[in-house]
Structure 1
Amino acid sequence: MATITRVEIKMIDLVPKITRTDAIQSFVSQETPIVIIHDSDGAVGTGYTYTIGTGGPAVVSLLERTLAPALIGKDPTRFEQLWRDLLFQTHATAVGAITSLALAAIDTALWDLNCRKNGLPLWKAAGGVRDKMRLYTTEGGWMYFTEDELVENALAAKEKGFKGSKIKIGSEYLVQDRRRLTKVREAVGDDYEIMVDANQNYDIAQAIRAARMLDELNIAWFEEPMPADDIAAHVELARRSHVPIAVGESMYSQSQFKDYMQLGAASIVQVDVARIGGITPWLKVAHTAECFNIAVCPHFLMELHLPLICAVPNAKWLEYIPQLDGVTKSQMQVVDGHGIPSREPGLGIDWDWDVISKLELVHHDVRKAA
């Protein structure tokens, strides 16, 4: 039986190529912890996680001091047991963002290691339902774009083959968002989807008003209308809205998703593999959503989510926001507005270690004591 002999922990900061601004924040930093797990057979698996803005060092500290040492000597093929053991080892800080993000780095590394040893790409190892997924882009819809720029960006995306665009909303006055969205709808026509994202900026009264306006413009979904911890408000909004309500990027446990689905508070779940704690819990949320006949359209991390949504039957869209282009040797393959998952064993991410070594902010090496 192979055992885990070494865990490397790195962190880099991926600076977005363009400014990313929504109704509540603007970020120019993306701290990205990376975990590399080695086993006694010589197999290696790489996983990662991220923060928008700050918080990366806290994730790295939890990995270095608590989680990585607990992996040494363990069987890497028992990733379900390892995930649960690590969760309970840190139960005093769970459910919470730091713990979930740290668990995700380890869990994705374990899946990568096992997929590589078994000679399977992740999308096949996790189910292999389809070999491509349609894309919508968020990069042309940030809050600071003018109305004319939003139109120009949406038309350019449509010309490239994208099937939809996401527009950020949450202006001071609802009429401002109406003007922005109306111009885009008139430009792209009815055969192109428009999604909107309020980034938790509304209260229930504002969200109800916004939902009526969005329905008039045939919007595909209304994302994160209110704070994610207010389930009752989302139940009320879902009851009143004809536009599907999408939630998930700010939720950190399977149980939170279960409550939303059971109460009818959302009809699209945007489970994020990093924020839920890894591939192991991500798949559980996706399959639970299938039982409720709810679509999965994950948040961010397109390079990692592509193989996952190709593995489950109820996935509908992949969000296009390039993240890893600068630190990988090959980019995600896009054909006619669809993402094509890698056929190579593992997660399908071809890391450029020379570039990563130059960007390293920290590097820890956890091994078995001599």
Structure 2
Amino acid sequence: MALTVERVTLRHVDLPPKVVRTDAIQSFVTQETLILTLHCSDGGSGTGYAYTIGTGGSSVMALLKDHLVPRLLGRDPTRIEALWKDLFFHTHATAVGAITSLALCCIDTALWDWRSRSLHQPLWKLLGGAQTRVPLYTTEGGWLHLSPQALVDQTLQAKAEGFRGAKIKIGRPHVSEDVARLSAVREAVGTSFDIMTDANQGLHRPESVRRARAFEGLDLAWLEEPLPAEDVSGHQQLRAHTGIPVAVGESLYHPMQFRQYLEAGACSIVQPDVARIGGITPWIKTAHLAETFDVPVCPHFLMELHVSLCAAVPNAAWVEYIPQLDDITTSRLRIEEGYALPPETSGLGIEWDWEAIAARQSVFLEMKA
């Protein structure tokens, strides 16, 4: 009897952030968490997910319900690559873009969860098993509205807790404000602690060059998303004017977009977000593509899943610590001496708290073949 996907459930759960999160262009309103579970004819199941930061969740759910899940039902779950390609081209008129990629991620991560569970292997080993631990930096603080003293206090606390780096948001109205904030943190934590910065696409070309030059001497680990993600040549120009590594990727939605950056020499670090790029299948391709350019991977958000993907590839340099699933999971990221350790359990390594999810979910749909 042929192996098929027999049934799919869709859930939408809102997870408000526990602290105020602000950056140069927006506030983090809520994490719309979209959870897809597929049940196969072998009795196995897999759960995948994606997210938004407050808008678009209902559109992702509609795309799944109306177009993608009906095309998934009855298909062979072992053919992950074929399924991703088919579903991507089925929605080609809406690609490349966030809504399509987020919907594809829900399916793709569920398929990989099913596969690794059925093979009784942790995901990171199934995908390559390149590293047993990855350095960890925190983005749990560092928000743009915080005072220099608050940033210093938070970052010192992070260092005391064993983190190897911390991210500070930049993009205050005047460059002097950013310099003052970063200088205060650098002076407090010393030279052995990494400081990452993130402009969230809030600068224009001349200002990005101006600020990068003003930041020289602060030994920053990277300058993240200084310009709009679509501006490849602008990032290329910025790299020619600064020695600070330039990081991009959380707002790119297909491996081809990363290829454009890498071929142009427009970035020093790539930051693919497994949800926004469309799942594990394209994430792994992007990581290996970056490896051929000798460029490190430092993914955005979703630490509970990215720890396994980073451990799978040799060029992953950091995992970003920013927990967001604690309220609906029983598993936790394993941390040891400032390193994130991938889970040894089979599947994605995420243990969902289905009672907590049921209590919070605003949408529940079940679809059958």
TM-score, normalising length: structure 2: 0.99
Shift of 1:145: 1.1
Residue type at the aligned position of 2:118 = K
Per-residue CA distance 1:316-366 (angstroms, 9 max, x = gap): 001100011111012111111111111000000010000000111101111
Residue type at the aligned position of 1:125 = L
Residue type at the aligned position of 1:278 = G
- Corresponding residue SS for 1:234: helix
In the alignment, what sits opposite 1:177? 178
Alignment of 1:176-195 (within 5 A): 176-195=177-196
The farther-off stretch of 81-90 and 25-34 is: 25-34
Per-residue CA distance 1:108-161 (angstroms, 9 max, x = gap): 000000000000111101110111111100112011111101000010000010
Do residues 127 (structure 1) and 120 (structure 2) align?
no
In the alignment, what sits opposite 1:101? 102
Give the fraction of aligned pairs with identical amino acids, expressed as a percent: 54
In the alignment, what sits opposite 1:6? 7
Alignment of 1:139-154 (within 5 A): 139-154=140-155
Distance 2:68 2:332 in 1: 31
Per-residue CA distance 1:179-235 (angstroms, 9 max, x = gap): 000000000000000010000000010000111122221111000000000111111
Distance 2:137 2:333 in 1: 14
Distance 2:28 2:238 in 1: 29
In the alignment, what sits opposite 1:296? 297
- Corresponding residue SS for 2:356: helix
Unaligned runs of 5+ in 2: none
Distance 1:148 1:235 in 2: 34
Alignment of 1:140-289 (within 5 A): 140-289=141-290
Distance 1:158 1:312 in 2: 26
Residue type at the aligned position of 1:330 = S
- Corresponding residue SS for 1:196: strand
Distance 1:53 1:25 in 2: 11
- Corresponding residue SS for 1:45: strand
Alignment of 1:342-353 (within 5 A): 342-353=343-354
Residue type at the aligned position of 2:264 = L
Do residues 35 (structure 1) and 48 (structure 2) align?
no
Distance 1:40 1:244 in 2: 48
Distance 1:9 1:53 in 2: 18
Residue type at the aligned position of 1:289 = A
Shift of 1:28: 2.4
CA RMSD, Structure 1 to Structure 2 (Å): 0.7
Per-residue CA distance 1:233-277 (angstroms, 9 max, x = gap): 111001111000000000101111000000000010000000000
Distance 2:340 2:32 in 1: 25
Residue type at the aligned position of 2:166 = S
Deviating runs (4+, > 2 A) in structure 1? none
Residue type at the aligned position of 1:320 = Y
In the alignment, what sits opposite 1:117? 118
- Corresponding residue SS for 1:8: strand
Distance 2:326 2:335 in 1: 13
TM-score, normalising length: structure 1: 0.99
Unaligned runs of 5+ in 1: none
